[in-house]
Amino acid sequence: MHTKPHLFDKATLGHRGRQVRAELKAEVAAFKAEHPAFRPKLVAVQVGARSDSSVYIRQKSKACQEIGIEFEHLQLDDTIQQSELDAQLDRINNDPSVHGIIVQLPVPDHLSTKHIVHSILPEKDVDGFHAENIGHLSKRATEPFFHSCTPLGCIELLKRYKIDVAGKNAVVVGRSDIVGSPMAMMLTNLDATVTLCHSKSADIEQKVRDADIVVVAIGVPELVKASWIKPGAVVIDVGMNARDDPSKKAGYRWVGDVEAAAAERASFITPVPGGVGPMTVAMLLSNVVVGAKRQFAAASRIAIVPNPLKLREPVPSDIAIASEQKPKPIAQLANELNLATAEFEPYGKHAAKVTLDVLQRLQGAGDGRYVVVTGISPTPLGEGKSTVTVGLSQALYAHLRKPAFACIRQPSQGPTFGIKGGAAGGGYAQVTPMTTMNLHLTGDIHAITAANNLVAAAVDARRFHEATQTDAQLFSRLCPRKAGKCTLAKPLLRRLQRLGIATTEPDALSEAEISRLVRLDIDPERIMWRRVLDTNDRFLREITIGEAATERGMARKTGFDISVASEIMAVLALTTSLSDMRERLGRMVVAFSRSGEPITCDDIGVTGALTVLMKDALSPTLMQTLEGSPVFVHAGPFANIAHGNSSIVADRIALKLVGTPPGEPATPESAGYVVTEAGFGADIGFEKFVNIKCRASGLVPDAAVIVATVRALKMHGGGPDVVPGRPLADAYTKENLELLERGFANLRRHIENVQKVGIPAIVAINAFATDSPAELDLVRRLARAAGAFDAIPTQLWAKGGAGATELAEAVVRCCNAPRSTSPQDRFRFLYDADLPIKQKIETIAKEFYRAGSVSYSDEAEKKIAQFTENGWDKMPICMAKTQYSFSADPALKCAPEGFDLPIRDIRASLGAGFIYPLCGAMQTLPGLPTRPCFYDIDVDPETGDIVGLF
């Protein structure tokens, strides 16, 4: 005989709900204590201002506040259109700080509830309404991101009252996607035998009579009669219906979908109201916490998903290797990096721009380990610095399973079609697709070319118009009247400020002030800005422009540089934000007036247009290595005539992506690695990395890898000239320890220079098949004796990351080695930027190059005096010199000392923020050789594949 039922009474249920909330509050507090950056957040979207909806929103807000969940109420006008609501939901979906989204139902009739529900990302659908979440309930092998809150609350009640479900007959009355259908699936997953009934089901009464557990959510008042309930059954009544009742103050009372008298037969029954509701809200909050913890765990560490190599012998061509290895889709790579959809923009299948919004999202995160790759003074063939950079990141990522990023420069098409070829690495250590990287990529260099040449056109056009117009005519055209009113454009307002003219009202300007404002009076002999193109073309080094009849009398001599030598490229590499880039572009000096005043891009009014052209280029391009590790390809300033490093923003984003959550220390187990490359030898690219790039970025490297080859060391030891296109002499292909040991002096000096600025040095010996074991062992022993942390032979070209695992292990040991001081305390610049120009030049020349003296041409002396007078002497120095020697003479090999360093000219890049002295003759636009690389480059007309690129 059935005993008196035990009700899920309001008091008990309220206690259970409070208990769940208290547990959640403790859980959130404990997780926050361990992970200070943890901030669970729920956004509730309300369309319109229904009073009942507003009450529910306030209840959820209060509950969130109690538990420690951030709550945002987004209230929208009830006239909002579907597309506008979609845009709002898209914004919230892509906000990484949001972990749960609910849309308060119902919504106005002109909006589609179904569309809205499925517009919320499944991983943020904390109501559990999305079809993907509901669908996963039907599969035992998968789990939804979230369970629907009401069914989950019902299951939680059963668990907390210790009601066993397994093996019981359960009937669910109602098949809605919100309650009935997911409830049936959840009970099935708990091993109940479930019957799902609905309004069209035959003989519902009998099915209910046979049930041990009855869940009713059909929305029909008291559909299920008390007599239907099996004695001792468990009844969960989800229904809540208003029934007219004049005896009540409100004129109605709440009834469920089950007759209240069923309480006399059931062992457990939920009351109406106050039954399932409190637990439903508790489960919503639980879902938010679950989602926040899941997202936090995912965002705390990038997913490491290597792309295994299929090594072949002999090693095929670079393009053949790249064609055989299928890259991951770029969206997959972005997902592995925990990038939000709004944080990257695909450019085709295998490249994407990554926005600087990532830095805002991760601003409190710790940085990964920062490793710079540099090299010895190279041969004209190059020593594989890019290959080591790429291969080291492959080894860290795919073989040591460390979060790792490579940051490299974008190749110029000049060398790609000229003599050097591309710069994607080589062999089995490449960035892929190498054809994409070596050609147009995402158009950054084209943007630089367009921006640079817009400046050049603006300078010459301004000269032309000033020569043919009076001050009044210039003023009327630069400040046109609209509706009788003259308004100064922003560039003119800024120029007034620079000129010290107080008024900003055009009609209040005197004739003298108007003349100063509109007439730049450019001296054609002192125009510093040249045009650029991304092609090696020796015949454009010196040209005459303005020869057309329409520009009679305006002809002048000028020339072209290669695009990557443009100051705009250096600005891109050194900028830290969009506003910083705009400021830098505006202050670039393009010419001097006849009176000696510097004229900037802002003076000619082109700053805004340059920023527009360069806006997309500011975002680094995400690619991958052959083994699937992420790579940022961004900026490509020449290393001998500019500072030769990839961008600051790429390094910063990469360091955050592989770093640690805010407030959590980096440990040897948790630390990720960013491997960035500095162009040419350590005397050039690395010196500028330290004194220019690190000074601008504030970043401090943990270690430096110096790439050396037996071949280059033999050359420095007195070996024959190494000439591209010619076979190597026997000295380079046969063992010669004496020659090698003599040439080691070059590597020794680079090691000393790296240590001089407080960075530990690791030598990566890029081994070739012709290197003997004795030669590799000699370099290793000498490097360690010279103070290197370690020296490791590598075989990256032939084996990819597997050929650099020992190097990667050495890098990890070096970065995590216990030391008495931090990297920030050990690191030091070579000079103080506030020193006089000559003192800074001579510090570099004597301490890094080991010059005995520095001599200056008359032109250089004149420029130094002028720059000092203009206040430009407080910037760092960017030495423009040959990469083949510590001196300005490329023929002076090994480690010369006591030589004179001639400074033939000196120029200022105010936008980039450095002064660059020219040591000896420097070409800023290469020429094509007798047999350029383009001889071998073609397209297979049948497959469309590119061939011959390397």
Mapped onto helix, strand or coil, the DSSP state of residue 768 is coil
Distance, CA of 229 to CA of 251 (rounded, Å): 30
Average pLDDT over residues 620-625: 98
Reading phi first (left if > 0) and then psi (alpha if -120 to 50, else beta), residue 546 is in left
Structure confidence at residue 210 (pLDDT):
95
Reading phi first (left if > 0) and then psi (alpha if -120 to 50, else beta), residue 195 is in beta
Q: Is the pLDDT of residue 892 over 80?
A: yes
Alpha carbon separation from 340 to 87, 298, 358, 388, 588 (Å, rounded): 16, 12, 9, 30, 35
Mapped onto helix, strand or coil, the DSSP state of residue 583 is helix
Distance, CA of 680 to CA of 385 (rounded, Å): 8
Q: What is the dihedral of CA 608, 610, 613, 615, to 10 degrees?
A: -70
pLDDT digits (tens, 9 = 90+) for 499-558: 999 998 999 999 999 999 999 999 999 999 999 999 999 999 999 999 999 998 899 999
Distance, CA of 450 to CA of 210 (rounded, Å): 79
Q: Is the pLDDT of residue 8 over 70?
A: no
Structure confidence at residue 823 (pLDDT):
87
Q: What percent of the chain has pLDDT over 90?
A: 79
Short-list 395, 379, 260, CA closest to 729: 379
Average pLDDT over residues 763-773: 97
Q: What angle do CA 312, 313, 317 make, to 5 degrees?
A: 75
The residues, ordered by sequence, that sit 6+ positions from 457 with a Cβ below 8 Å of its Cβ are none
Q: Is the pLDDT of residue 6 over 70?
A: no
φ, ψ dihedrals at 225, nearest 5°: -85, 155
Per-residue pLDDT band for 10 (boundaries 50, 70, 90) equals: low
Distance, CA of 165 to CA of 178 (rounded, Å): 21
Tell me how long the chain is: 950
- Chain CA centroid to CA 877, Å: 29
Catalytic residue selected from 41, 60, 124, 230 = 60
Alpha carbon separation from 559 to 457, 531, 881 (Å, rounded): 13, 7, 20
Distance, CA of 267 to CA of 271 (rounded, Å): 13
Per-residue pLDDT band for 339 (boundaries 50, 70, 90) equals: very high
Q: Is the pLDDT of residue 421 over 80?
A: no
Burial of 520 (0-12, 13-18, 19+ CB in 10 A): buried
Alpha carbon separation from 465 to 458, 459, 475, 591, 595 (Å, rounded): 10, 10, 11, 16, 19
Average pLDDT over residues 373-390: 95
Distance, CA of 56 to CA of 51 (rounded, Å): 9
Q: What is the dihedral of CA 569, 574, 579, 582, to 10 degrees?
A: -30
Q: Is the pLDDT of residue 223 over 80?
A: yes
Determine contact, residues 611/588, Cβ cutoff 8 Å: no
pLDDT digits (tens, 9 = 90+) for 648-657: 999 999 999 9
Distance, CA of 39 to CA of 503 (rounded, Å): 50
HSE-CB at 266 with a 13 A cutoff on CA atoms is 29
Distance, CA of 675 to CA of 208 (rounded, Å): 67
Distance, CA of 712 to CA of 894 (rounded, Å): 10
Q: How many CB atoms lie within 10 A of CB 826?
A: 16
Q: What percent of the chain has pLDDT over 70?
A: 98
Q: Is 60 a catalytic residue?
A: yes
Most confident of 10-14, 294-298, 864-868: 864-868
pLDDT digits (tens, 9 = 90+) for 629-678: 999 999 988 887 789 999 999 999 999 999 998 888 888 888 899 999 99
What would the two tokens of residue 500 be? 């010290």
* Residue where the block lists tokens 């054609």: 524
Maximum CA extent, the chain: 116
Any idea what DSSP says for residue 87?
H
What would the two tokens of residue 523 be? 């001296």
Distance, CA of 47 to CA of 89 (rounded, Å): 12
Q: What angle do CA 846, 851, 852 make, to 5 degrees?
A: 100
Mapped onto helix, strand or coil, the DSSP state of residue 131 is helix
519/21: higher pLDDT: 519
In three state form, how does the secondary structure of 188-247 look?
HHCCCEEEEECCCCCCHHHHHHCCCEEEECCCCCCCECHHHCCCCCEEEECCCEEEECCC
Determine contact, residues 768/779, Cβ cutoff 8 Å: no
Short-list 376, 374, 380, CA closest to 720: 380
Structure confidence at residue 432 (pLDDT):
93
Q: How many CB atoms lie within 10 A of CB 745?
A: 18
Any idea what DSSP says for residue 119?
T
Average pLDDT over residues 187-206: 94
Strands 900-909 and 938-939: unpaired
Distance, CA of 463 to CA of 62 (rounded, Å): 67
Q: Is the pLDDT of residue 498 over 90?
A: yes
Q: Is the pLDDT of residue 1 over 50?
A: no
The residues, ordered by sequence, that sit 6+ positions from 878 with a Cβ below 8 Å of its Cβ are 642, 643, 688, 692, 909, 912, 914, 915, 916
Per-residue pLDDT band for 420 (boundaries 50, 70, 90) equals: low
Quote the mean pLDDT of the chain. Answer: 93
Any idea what DSSP says for residue 645?
B
Structure confidence at residue 692 (pLDDT):
97
Using alpha carbons only, how large is the chain's radius of gyration in Å?
35
Burial of 521 (0-12, 13-18, 19+ CB in 10 A): middle
Q: What angle do CA 383, 389, 394 make, to 5 degrees?
A: 130
Alpha carbon separation from 683 to 512, 675, 689, 891 (Å, rounded): 51, 19, 10, 16
Distance, CA of 37 to CA of 40 (rounded, Å): 10
Distance, CA of 884 to CA of 886 (rounded, Å): 7
pLDDT digits (tens, 9 = 90+) for 257-286: 999 999 999 999 999 888 888 889 999 999
Q: Long-range pairs for 502-506 at CB < 8 Å and ≥24 separation?
A: 506/475, 506/479
* Residue where the block lists tokens 């090693």: 315
pLDDT digits (tens, 9 = 90+) for 806-862: 999 999 999 999 888 888 899 999 999 999 999 999 999 999 999 999 999 999 999
